[in-house]
Amino acid sequence: MGASSSVLAVDSGSLTSLSSAGPSSPLAFASSTLRANRRVVLVAVKIDGSALKYADPALQGDRDVVMTAVQKNGIALAYAASPLRADRDLVLAAVSSNGFALQHAAASLVDDREIVLAAVGQTHASKRQKESKEVALAAVRKAGGLLQHAGKALKDDVDVVKAAVENDGQALQFASTRVQGLKDVVLVAVKESPCALQYASATLRDDSETVLSALTAPERGYGGALEYAGPNVRQDRQVVKAAVESLGEALKYASPGLQGDEEIALAAVKQSGKALAFAAPAMKGSKSVVMAAIASNPKALKFASDELKADEEVVMAALAASERKNVRPCDHGIVASAVVSQVAV
């Protein structure tokens, strides 16, 4: 092996070893001679396709080099010579690697159905492709949020929106107002993402079945979704109980009447003692509710009525709960202030 070959071997090895040092390819720091060396550039783009950016212009126009680069990282298409951006097979390889590479394709290919389908994302597709239901379905099934880039008609298409929210319930925010009011679509959305309830129509946010679906969806139910419920649902005992059993603090969003309901308040504080903060004054003065709250979290004594903060049994229960939870009472002004107020009495 000659001297030049030895240098090449060392330099190629350096490219490999340096590739993990940072996001910028070592090719950027190579001499112009090596950036024009086909073998060196091939090593570089096999490691990091975007290294094509630093290759000699002649190699940016080399189809094999560019194909290697875009197969590694589709965005490398941005650094290919203009004629290659119109090469259908090369562009197809690029968008299959990274859908956003479509923005770097020649205008003649931006409307190619197979290429756009491969790209999946519609952000850089032509207007006609944005109105293609086939393209939209392919896109949202992979990433529901891509509904944002669909045409107006597709955002009003039940099949497309339902496919989007099955993948990502939050995609409901991009649907048309009409579709946001369709119960079968919204039910799919809130079961996938409970907080998608906020994007449903006012009518469905005040529908007990819809809200319950958000609160109790298997593995995804979230009591906090009660925040987005309408006024009538917040008065629905079954719905509110389901919410606070999932997240005690959801009591905050219940109607005043249910915040003062002992059964509801007990369910809430048993799930989270801090829920006592959102109970009606009468519940903060209920010994059974407060005792349940401090059993869950001794700090809940903070939200009890002054009368119960001066009740020895209640304060001792809080101290005992602190000990069980390995909490040092002196670290919490809550218990200390309660004891002081008791002594003062």
DSSP class per residue in 33-94: HHHT-HHHHHHHHHH-GGGGGGS-HHHHT-HHHHHHHHHH-GGGGGGS-GGGGG-HHHHHHH
| pLDDT, position 228 | 97
Residue 30 region by backbone torsions, left for phi larger than 0, else alpha for psi between -120 and 50, else beta: beta
pLDDT in tens, 122-142: 455 555 555 678 778 877 887
- Residues with Cβ within 8 Å of 179's Cβ and at least 6 positions away in sequence, in order, are 155, 156, 157, 158, 161, 185
Q: How far is CA 209 from CA 42, 154, 206, 229, in A?
A: 59, 27, 9, 11
Compute the distance between CA of residue 222 and CA of residue 228 in angstroms, rounded to an integer: 12
- Residue 19 gets which letter from DSSP? T
Compute the distance between CA of residue 138 and CA of residue 135 in angstroms, rounded to an integer: 5
pTM score, whole prediction: 0.62
Q: Tens-of-pLDDT digits for all 345 residues of the chain?
A: 333 333 333 333 333 333 333 446 899 999 999 999 999 999 999 999 999 999 999 999 999 999 999 999 998 999 999 999 999 999 999 988 887 788 788 988 876 767 876 775 445 555 555 567 877 887 788 778 878 878 899 999 999 999 999 999 999 999 999 999 999 999 999 999 999 999 999 999 999 999 999 998 877 779 999 999 999 999 999 999 999 999 999 999 999 999 999 999 999 999 999 999 999 999 999 999 999 999 999 999 999 999 999 999 999 999 998 877 654 544 445 444 544 444 343
Among the listed residues 65, 115, 57, the one whose alpha carbon sits nearest the alpha carbon of residue 86: 115
Compute the distance between CA of residue 37 and CA of residue 31 in angstroms, rounded to an integer: 10
| pLDDT, position 129 | 55
| pLDDT, position 126 | 53
| pLDDT, position 146 | 79
Compute the distance between CA of residue 175 and CA of residue 336 in angstroms, rounded to an integer: 53
Q: Which residue has the tokens 């490691």?
A: 47
Helix (H) / strand (E) element for 190: namely: helix 183-192
| pLDDT, position 340 | 42
Contact 101, 79 (CB under 8 A): no
Compute the distance between CA of residue 100 and CA of residue 217 in angstroms, rounded to an integer: 34
pLDDT in tens, 181-240: 999 999 999 999 999 999 999 999 999 999 999 998 877 779 999 999 999 999 999 999
Compute the distance between CA of residue 302 and CA of residue 272 in angstroms, rounded to an integer: 14
